[in-house]
Structure 1
């Protein structure tokens, strides 16, 4: 009975922390659903969603659900995601069919927040679950892979799609990498590739819900909504890897800078 109680307590705490990590994503989901049935005069739906996202971001920092450093990372992801959205929309990969004042070359500005919500989740999970990576590859390897993955999102429209080649390389590079995380006093461990795949799968599930709400529309959904092709899981898999790579590298850079600052202060004290 004690073991069962401990398991249930750990599961409840895990679920609660996961919910806190997903606040930004939940707000986006809710805004999609609400604005589908509730309209405000003179404010197009996409613009209203953008306003909600900005207010949410401000409130999360104001009430310390996110730190200023995390906001910087999230802003970077917003820019990266918006750049990808603009390109994909103009290549006909998907479309935003509704009008908006804040459309940028066919992509509404709120679309960058969908990528930012992934970064928000990763940053908060890092802090709330005390993530530690073991066997993480060197910076040269991860940066190279991140650049190749992001570039392939663009170049596959013109040349061969190297996603499966890149995924094979990722499997080789990360096969021995694992992540440990704490839920209360319980520490758990999981292969990092499993983590990548699980996050990608749940984003794909979320994508199906978002397209149902009209967040964007794939060409085969214009006549009637249908399930997003399962192959999109591979795209999210690689995007999740980019996201985690960037967060890990930025965390490492910040740690080195803090360590350098500490060593400098110690050196001054010794003098």
Structure 2
């Protein structure tokens, strides 16, 4: 994707100034690159961070006597956040399309999982479908928003990427297994093995500042899954949703949930790849 279509993104001007800075070789240069890396990551996480702030803020300060349900307030806040990010050019229309796709995919999964008793939403709401408040789709959308934004901001490039059809088939199998394992054997370990087989050679190249760095894509997915797990613990602490084991009080979500988030990461990544095609390091933008 070229920089030209991103003129409407407010971050583009900031990024251009950052990348125009002279960097001295050695520790000072590395430290500056690390700071810019953190800034770009924070910018990519903006939608998710605002969602977490909504969950925590309403948990701590929303009065029980309020005329609007807390869950409905979160839904309204999420919609206003989305509109505000577009209006103030903090997000591109293409990224908004990705968020909409994730909202639909996530809501379908939520409807099934709550009906199956995997987790529940303990508070009432008017803005809901079945037992699922409408803000839940935005939590999946936050993951999609992050991947779409970090892909663009760091100008991701790939070596060793498998044929696209194999990634589509893998993502579809993972999504089906999220539903089918309630009746059929859970094949997640097979899916992990297929993921490793397809992507073990794949490196993601990213540009924090001037120099392209690289990381095994499998490792990158694992790091993002870990941070989603941290966010999940914040969400359950704020009683945005609860697991059956948390019925008697909050405790940290089991570490085994990392596997589920890792698989969700693959679905998320492949969905974004439909909009932003993976390119090699030497391929031109556009």
Number of the residue aligned with 1:17:
40
The ranges of structure 1 where at least 4 consecutive aligned residues each deviate by more than 4 angstroms after the TM superposition are none
Q: 1:127 aligns with which of 152, 161, 184?
A: 152
Structure 2 stretches of 5 or more lacking a match? 1-23, 279-285
Whole-angstrom CA distance in 2 between matches of 1:196 and 1:183: 18
CA distance in 1, matches of 2:94, 2:229: 28
Alignment of 1:56 onto 2:81:
yes
Aligned pairs for 1:114-263 within 5 A: 114-252=139-277
User: CA deviation digits over 1:62-110, x for unaligned, max 9?
Assistant: 1222111111111000000011011100100000000000121101110
Query: TM-score, normalising length from structure 1?
Result: 0.91
The alignment's TM-score, normalised by the length of structure 2, stands at 0.86
* Structure 1: tracts of 5 or more residues without a match: 254-261, 263-271
Root mean square deviation, CA, Å: 1.6
Q: Would you say how many aligned residue pairs link Structure 1 and Structure 2?
A: 255
Q: 2:111 aligns with which of 86, 90, 110?
A: 86
Distance between the aligned counterparts of 1:246 and 1:188, measured in 2? 24
Tell me, yes or no, if the aligned pair for 1:10 and 1:186 is still in contact at 8 Å. no
Tell me how far 1:2 sits from its aligned partner.
Answer: 5.1
Greater helix proportion: 1
Is 1:96 paired with 2:116?
A: no
Deviations 1:137-171 (A, max 9, x none): 11221111111000000000011000011110100
Separation in 2, partners of 1:111, 1:180: 32
**Which residue of the partner structure matches residue 95 of structure 2?**
70
Which residue of structure 2 aligns with residue 44 of structure 1?
Answer: 69
Q: Which has the higher contact order (CA 8 A, sep 6+)?
A: 2
Alpha-carbon deviation of 1:252? 2.7
